Structure 1
């Protein structure tokens, strides 16, 4: 005789939402201006961004520019540097080039492994923005990524994931899965960041990272 599998009843079901409930929710969006608004519009100040590109594309510069733009909004930004060392001259030079001293109160960096990062985010007053550069140096495990994402959701943290490119696509299947999962997706090639996310600005999602390099690659003076 077949028996029905037992299912555990939840202690309390979440309340179902009406249209009014949905539309009356308080949503906070990024209140930036200028070329950030033109390219990316006003996305929510939460969720996952996935940014990928090849070597020499301008990806590292864009990530630092994005970190500074968010710090200027008075968000505490933590840059988890994994692909480089914190005392690498390239990283130091990038902070000087982009004048990160202007946001020194809101910008911090370190190289944390997965467990260290989780412990840091579980501390009181965690950062509002976390940059993981890059994700495959932190983890290649989907369950660990989802656990990190869930923690950031609970803490209302904006999670920026950096990935590598093979052609125009993320290099690994793991990174491709993150791209599909992310709300905001930004591909960088030839010093041009192209928004492919859910929120796109009035210029069609184009953000030039380095004007001179962009022009030179396209044969413009």
Structure 2
């Protein structure tokens, strides 16, 4: 147990990411150990957003992108190419397969500051396992991608983890219409400008990612 007085609390400084432009407008200036959940139906832009976000976050530190669902695939390669990820070469590593202990060992050895798990449902990440991750790495940021049903995380684990996250982002038609961030912002985030033409659960011809 730790106790802190009012004045000490008020004067305490927190280490944050200095987000700018659309990122700040939507997500504010999150602490460097923020937790975020990104959820939506297939074909609406979850992976496209995650790759785009990984590129932006790489300007602040190393990113581990855990591609449990798509693996090392052509569809993920296309997203990497579309987002010009070569500009952050060496700062983002894409992982596939492996168990939770394998992931923990990789994070520990790689020095990654941000971890993206795509997806919670495919990996079968439980609430208790998520607690292990954030307890093991209290200074790192975690972004969890999840499937959805009725505009909410599909699984009970996803619903539980949503409550534990600082930023909650529902993706539909290549937009995060109402991000909910404890750090401010909360304006709509546009993942793809043509996304408004995409019907719910449909797969646009340009994209073959989720």
In structure 1, the gaps of 5 or more residues are 1-12
**Residue 208 (1) aligns with residue 208 (2):** no
Larger C-alpha radius of gyration, 1 or 2? 1
Hey, what does 1:96 align to over in structure 2?
Answer: 81
Contact 2:37 2:169 in 1 (8 A): yes
**Residue 110 (1) aligns with residue 92 (2):** no
In the aligned structure 1, how far is the partner of 2:124 from the partner of 2:164?
16
In structure 2, the gaps of 5 or more residues are 200-210
Counterpart selection for 2:114 from 129, 146, 154: 129
Displacement, 1:205? 2.2
Displacement, 1:217? 4.1
Q: With CA pairs under 8 Å and 6+ residues apart, which has the higher RCO, 1 or 2? A: 2
Counterpart selection for 1:157 from 133, 140, 143: 140
Aligned residues: 197
SS in 1 for 2:13: coil
Contact 2:121 2:155 in 1 (8 A): no
Structure 1 ranges of 4+ moved more than 3 A: none
Hey, what does 2:202 align to over in structure 1?
Answer: none
Mapping 1:18-167, distance limit 5 Å: 18-73=5-60, 75-86=61-72, 88-111=73-96, 112-123=98-109, 126-153=111-138, 156-167=139-150
Distance change >3 Å, CA 141–CA 58, structure 1 → 2: closer
More divergent stretch after superposition (162-171 vs 20-29): 20-29
Contact 1:139 1:145 in 2 (8 A): no
TM-score, scaled relative to structure 2: 0.88
Superposition RMSD in Å: 1.6
Contact 2:38 2:145 in 1 (8 A): yes
